[in-house]
A and B are shown apart, each in its own frame.
Chain A
Amino acid sequence: MALLVVVLALPTRGVAQDPRLAARLDPSTARRVDSLVQLNARAGLPGEPLVQIALEGHSKGATGERIVAAVEALGAGMARSRDLLGPGSSSAELVAGAMWLRSGGAPADLSEFRTAGGRRSLALPLSVAADLLKLGWPSDEAGTAMRSLLEARVADADLVAFSKRLDQLGKPSARTADALRQEVVRMTAGQAVRP
């Protein structure tokens, strides 16, 4: 019984505030961010991405309010990503999934990407898919393209080259949409595009 008391008295991980928060943020913001990190941890989600986005905000001179809002949004995005990608998803996949959602990607596409991708990590494919949205491609075009590329088992390096190729096509239009579809067909037929 005495042994049990000693064991229970030992501190468990996840209770102490990350010292990087106190070192870089004002005390109020550090406390609020830490609360969100702990909340994420209790939900079984990784806390490190939240700490990093807080540090990014500090590095870019953001206010405490903006930093807290960013941490909240990423935490919500990761939780939603886990619902759609599955409970066994890696931290990298959850962050990339949150990027897809926050860039305007359709939530349903995450489940479809998981099905199309099989057992491969979706971290890089989701980042490329978010890149397509940043370039101005509509969510349905980007989602359809990425699904086809995943089903064809296109390698990560070729996915990156694909997004760079699209960047060179210019602003999305009816003409470039045709070019995008042709690129996808060529890549899924095994003809990798490299710069």
Chain B
Amino acid sequence: MSDGLIARVARTLREPVPVSQGFDRRLSERLAGAANARERRLVRRAGLAVAALLAFLALQLGPVSSPAVRPVELVIDLPEAGSVTVVGDFNDWDRSRTRLERVAHSSRWRTTLRLGEGLYRYAFLVDGEQWFPDPGRPSAADPDFGGQVSVLAVE
């Protein structure tokens, strides 16, 4: 069982189980009026089973909270470029989704991404044809598809 799954189970079980006021009142009355201990135990066990089912369902649906994101600026100096996009793990390697804008009166191109924690591999695509690594960040040779890919780590 992975650490992530254990953490999600613990977090989910700590959350209160939402019940309507009517249900809560009926349950309380039932518990108060139950004539024998055996009936009270059965009602409590039913409540626990419902809570366990809700926790399981919550796990299947996944975490509710969204991870924090932060702005990351990418800049590259390409005097001869007609168009520049950035392609990588943060946009499913879509060649045209994330366009850079040319900075006025300069040869620099820039964009700002909003990224959650993680490691992202990427490269710039110039005029839809040429791949360039980011000179401002670490890069590694791409043993699978050639060229180089840059690496951006967001902590």
Name A's B-contacting residues (CB within 8 A): 3, 7, 10-13, 20, 44, 49, 52-53, 55-60, 62, 66, 69-70, 73-74, 88, 91-93, 95-96, 99, 102-103, 121, 123-124, 127-128, 130-131, 133-134, 156, 160, 163-164
Given pairs A10-B57, A99-B140, A134-B139, 15 additional interface contacts (CB within 8 A): A13-B60, A44-B2, A52-B89, A59-B87, A62-B144, A62-B145, A66-B145, A70-B145, A73-B144, A88-B3, A123-B153, A127-B151, A127-B153, A131-B151, A133-B140
Q: Tally of A-B residue pairs with Cβ under 8 A? A: 102
Q: How close is B125's CB to chain A, nearest CB, in angstroms?
A: 9
Closest chain A residue to B87, Cβ basis:
A59
Q: What is the CB-to-nearest-CB distance from B45 to chain A, in angstroms, rounded to a whole number?
A: 12
Chain B residue contacts of A62, Cβ below 8 A:
144-145
Question: Would A53 and B144 count as touching, CB distance under 8 A?
Answer: yes
If A56-B121, A123-B119 touch, does A134 touch B153 (CB 8 Å cutoff)? no
User: B60 contacts A12, CB within 8 Å?
Assistant: yes
Q: Which residues of A contact B141 (CB under 8 A)?
A: 103, 133-134
Q: Which of the candidate stretches B65-73, B90-98, B104-112 sits at the interface with the other chain?
A: B90-98
A20 partner residues in chain B, CB cutoff 8 A: 92
Bound-state Cα–Cα, A10 to B53, Å = 11
- A56 near B145 with CB under 8 A, answer yes
Render B120-146 as a binary contact track against A, CB cut-off 8 A, 1 for contact. Answer: 010000000001000111111101111
Q: Across the interface, do A131 and B119 meet the contact criterion of CB distance under 8 Å?
A: no
A70 engages B92 (CB within 8 Å): no
Return the CB mask of B1-21 against A: 1 if under 8 Å, else 0.
Answer: 011000000000000000000
B62 at the A interface (CB under 8 A): yes
Is B155's CB within 8 Å of the partner chain A?
Answer: yes
Q: Does B49 contact A (CB under 8 A)?
A: yes
51-77 of chain B: CB within 8 A of chain A? 53, 56-57, 60, 62
Contact B93 A134 (CB under 8 A): no
Can you list 8 A-B contacts with CB-CB less than 8 angstroms, sorted by A residue number? A3-B53, A56-B89, A58-B93, A73-B143, A92-B119, A96-B151, A102-B143, A156-B153
CA distance A81 to B62 in the complex (A): 27
Residue pair B144, A57 in contact (C-beta under 8 Å): yes
- Asked if B118 lies at the interface with its beta carbon under 8 angstroms from chain A, I say yes
Question: Which residues of the partner chain B approach A96 to less than 8 Å between Cβ atoms?
Answer: 119, 151, 153
Residue contact A66 to B140, C-beta cutoff 8 Å = no
Most A CB within 10 A of own CB, among B49, B95, B117, B140: B140
| CB of A10, distance to nearest CB on chain B (Å) | 6
Closest CB in chain B relative to A131 CB, distance in Å = 4
Bound state CA distance, A123 and B121, in angstroms? 12
B130 to chain A, nearest CB (A): 12
Q: Which residues of B contact A88 (CB under 8 A)?
A: 3
Q: How far is the CA of A12 from the CA of B56 in the complex (A)?
A: 10
Question: Which residues of B sit under 8 angstroms from A123, Cβ to Cβ?
Answer: 119, 153, 155
Q: How far is the CA of A160 from the CA of B89 in the complex (A)?
A: 20
A44 to B6, CA, bound (A): 13
